[in-house]
Amino acid sequence: MENKKDKKVLLRISNLKQYFEVKKTSMFQKEQLYVKANDGISLDIYEGETFGLVGESGCGKSTFGRSLLQLYKQTDGRTMYYGRPLDEIAPRYMEETLKNLPAKMKALEAHQAKVELLQKEYDNLKTDEEKYTMHGKLKEAKKIANDAFLDIAQVIGGFYISKDLGKVSATFLKEYHANVALCIAKEELRKLESEFEAIKAEKEEKKVSKSEIDAALAKNKAKVDAAKKDVETKQEIFNAAKQEIDAMKKDYAGNAEFDKYETYLDEGVDLARLTEEEIRRLRKDLQLIFQDPYSSLNPRMSVGQIIGEGLNAHKVFHKNKDKMQDYIMQVMEDCGLAPYMVHRYPHQFSGGQRQRIGIARSLALKPKFVVCDEAVSALDVSIQSQIINLLLDLKEKENLTYLFISHDLSVIKYISDRIGVMYLGNMVELATTTDLFAAPMHPYTEALLSAIPTTDVDDKKETILIEGDIPSPIKPPTGCKFHTRCQYCTDICKKVVPEFEEVTPGHFVACHHKRNVVESK
């Protein structure tokens, strides 16, 4: 796809792993077993698109959605989020990297040396069998080295080649601390301003005289002004720190190597490494719509409270109740709920309306990215289409990005721009909706597509049946995980894990025999 480069990446997930520990069956069991719910998933999600995720139950699609939002702490991998400028978040892990820069550099060198050693050993191996066992080790070592490298390069960019790491570390730290101070000052100002507005609105409502209002506000006004000044001074310090870095860059002007590493600078925030408080602040941007509208709403809270909970938690309308109430009404109207419903409780609603409440709750915070986890699966057919239409309308209006998880291929096809097919914790195929349905390349996708019952009476297509059930994710099959049920399976499938590679532009497949699948059509 050519236009892919124009689109802005919102989330870049690389090698996401989510393992759950399995309880040991006896005290003598030595080996700790894991349910490998997600086993190394990499993909980009672009801003404004709907990414559909399909697969059978137990393939890890819901886990993936939740790990993305860090509702489960992901075991391994990077989840870079580009929805906000890095300066606004100023994550703690950056400080940590900057502080220990020399030590980290040393560790990186050790990793790289190890990779080189392994690579030499690998090149000297003769039989394929040996090579294969070695390959896994080599890959793992490369991955660790690469991660360590990215940790550093993403933060300091071109200064990676600098000899005087101590100075780089000190300068960057200075900038970082200035930035953090600025963020805090800004937040304080926002809070005071909002408080100021609230007091003003309250007094005006009580119809007290103008002089009284002014008296009450004078104190707050002084506070706001002080905060404003504070922000200004902090901003200056921050700018000065930035200029210092720019000055350092001048030494490297025209240095090709410096420019090469400078491109590694990353404006994204790695969600997986944020502290709990940091991710909590980001939750505003990252929301979830649940499958079951019955159990996902608190039965003891009224609709207004449910929708307002997030607004309160994030102090969007700081102490300004009237404004918040108006806003809740606005959100309810957008989601097709009547204003009189605001004081009702969840049990008074039908399934479709409850799902609307769930949608209103997640959209109230004006998120950028929403995970819809089987959002329409529990609804009746006639209600399902209402909710799908609503989701599409809201997406258009708010420029949302969806990760739409469903097992229903017809719905996925209708709603998604791109589709990822998952099997047993891995992504097996990823393509645009048209490509995927026109020319599926993975045998599993092919079978999945043919298994959907259609309402077309003249449909004569042969259903490709996959025999058997999904294997256990605790002990997944070796090699290609699908080989136990695959009709094209050969020896290589049983031994070698297929790479997830781009076959045609934008069309990724993990299969040894993908071309066979196309040819057999």
Q: Between 159 and 402, whose beta carbon lies closer to other proteins?
A: 402
**How many whole angstroms separate alpha carbon 66 and alpha carbon 49?**
19
474 binds other proteins (CB under 8 A): no
- β-bridge mates for residue 269, sequence order: 81
25 binds other proteins (CB under 8 A): no
Q: Between 54 and 324, whose beta carbon lies closer to other proteins?
A: 54
Is beta strand 34-46 parallel, antiparallel or unpaired with respect to 9-21? antiparallel
Q: Between 263 and 463, whose beta carbon lies closer to other proteins?
A: 463
Site string for other proteins, 422-461 (x = CB under 8 A): -----------x---x---------xx-xxxxxxxx----
394 CB neighbour count, 10 Å cutoff = 18
411 binds other proteins (CB under 8 A): yes
Among 384, 401, 426, 445, binds other proteins (CB under 8 A): 384
Interface positions, 171-200, toward other proteins (CB under 8 A): none
Residue written as tokens 């590493």?
261
466 binds other proteins (CB under 8 A): yes
Is beta strand 286-289 parallel, antiparallel or unpaired with respect to 369-373? parallel
Closest approach, Cβ 95 to other proteins, in A, equals 45
**How many whole angstroms separate alpha carbon 55 and alpha carbon 65?**
13
For CA atoms 327, 330, 335, 336, give the dihedral sign.
Answer: positive
Residue 373 and residue 287 in contact, taking contact as beta carbons nearer than 8 Å = no
Among 183, 199, 201, 388, binds other proteins (CB under 8 A): 388
Among 268, 308, 352, 443, binds other proteins (CB under 8 A): 352
Interface positions, 43-82, toward other proteins (CB under 8 A): 56-57
Q: Between 277 and 456, whose beta carbon lies closer to other proteins?
A: 456
Among 414, 477, 489, 503, binds other proteins (CB under 8 A): 414
**How many whole angstroms separate alpha carbon 200 and alpha carbon 398?**
30
385 binds other proteins (CB under 8 A): yes
**How many whole angstroms separate alpha carbon 512 and alpha carbon 521?**
17
The first and second tokens of residue 185, run together, are 């000052």
Query: Residue 497: what are its φ and ψ, rounded to 5°?
Result: -75, 120
At 325 the three-state DSSP class reads helix
Q: Between 7 and 131, whose beta carbon lies closer to other proteins?
A: 7
Closest approach, Cβ 471 to other proteins, in A, equals 10
Residues in contact with 316: Cβ distance below 8 Å, sequence separation at least 6, in sequence order: 324, 365
Q: Footprint of other proteins on this chain (CB under 8 A)?
A: 56-57, 350, 352-353, 380-386, 388-389, 392, 407, 409-411, 413-415, 433, 437, 447-448, 450-457, 463, 465-470
